Amino acid sequence: QVQLVESGGGLLQPGGSLRLSCAVSGLSFSRYAMSWYRQAPGKERELVAGISSVGGITNYVDSVKGRFTISRDNAKNTVYLQMNSLKPEDTAVYYCKAHWALIAAEYWGQGTQVTVSS
């Protein structure tokens, strides 16, 4: 069975940092590009960051550039999102996604809540 399990969310003050993790099982992790999405109340789900299957290429939505870093450890089947200088507008449920375009495969995690508030 394919499983993507996010962890590391929580409540913190503006300016703080969190590191989200997504542990993946049941698929060939090193063949999948990985992404983090988020969805805030009343808004559409948006792509936050993506990383290629071997970790050499990354991309970010403009609003998080310079603050967030996506990385992966293929030996541990895990993708991370390091979030620094957090702002209230970063408050959302964060979701992990695995994608392999060659076979049109896509899988989603259940999400983890991040709340930034004073």
pLDDT in tens, 43-60: 999 999 999 998 789 999
Using DSSP's 3-state secondary structure scheme, residue 89 falls into: helix
pLDDT in tens, 5-58: 999 999 999 999 999 999 999 999 999 999 999 999 999 999 999 999 987 899
Residue 108's pLDDT band (boundaries 50, 70, 90)?
Answer: very high
pLDDT in tens, 68-81: 999 999 999 999 99
Rounded CA separation 113/91 (Å): 8
Cα diameter, the chain? 45
